[in-house]
Structures are given as structure tokens and as C-alpha cells.
Amino acid sequence: MEASLISALPNLGVGVVSILAVGYIVNKFLLAMDERTVRHEASMNEREAYLRVVEKEIRTTLSNSLHESTKVIEENRRVMVLVLDRLSDRDNNKIS
């Protein structure tokens, strides 16, 4: 029994060293992934903040353009009403 125990000890030693090495590598990998995740989240937060600024600028520009367009359309409508009224008055004067 002693001979088999002595012959198994080197194999057990190699197994323990292998398990410790795998544990160390997994721990290093997880630490690197945590660091990468933190950097990625910071990058995504910067990107989101930039997109919010661009979105606000686009909304402001579109809102201003819509307001200006509405004013121009209203002015055109008012002018067309005046033109139609004058044409109507002119036609009424010719008939009379």
C-alpha cells in the first residue's frame, strides 16, 4: 500500500499545481474582464452623453425650422387671401 501511495504523490502534486495554475489564470482573466467592463461602460456613458447633445441640437433645429415654416405658410395664406379678395373685387367692378 505504501508503494502505491508514494507513486501517487507526484501525480497528486502535479494535479494540485495544475488546479492552482488554472485558478490563478481564471482569476486574472476575471479581473481583466472587470476592468474592460468598467472602461466599456465609461465609453458608453460618454457616447450616450454626446448623443443626447446631438439629439437636443437636432430637436432645437427642427423646432425652429418648423416654427419658421409655419410663419411663412401663414404669411403666404394671408397674401393669397388678399390677392383673391382683390381679384374678386376687380371682377365685381367689371360686372357692375
pLDDT digits (tens, 9 = 90+) for 75-88: 999 999 999 988 88
Q: Fill in the amino acid letter for 94.
A: K
Q: What is the pTM of this model?
A: 0.52
What pLDDT, on a 0 to 100 scale, did the predictor assign at position 3?
A: 60
Quick one: CA dihedral 88, 89, 95, 96, positive or negative?
A: positive
Judge whether residue 56 has pLDDT over 50. yes
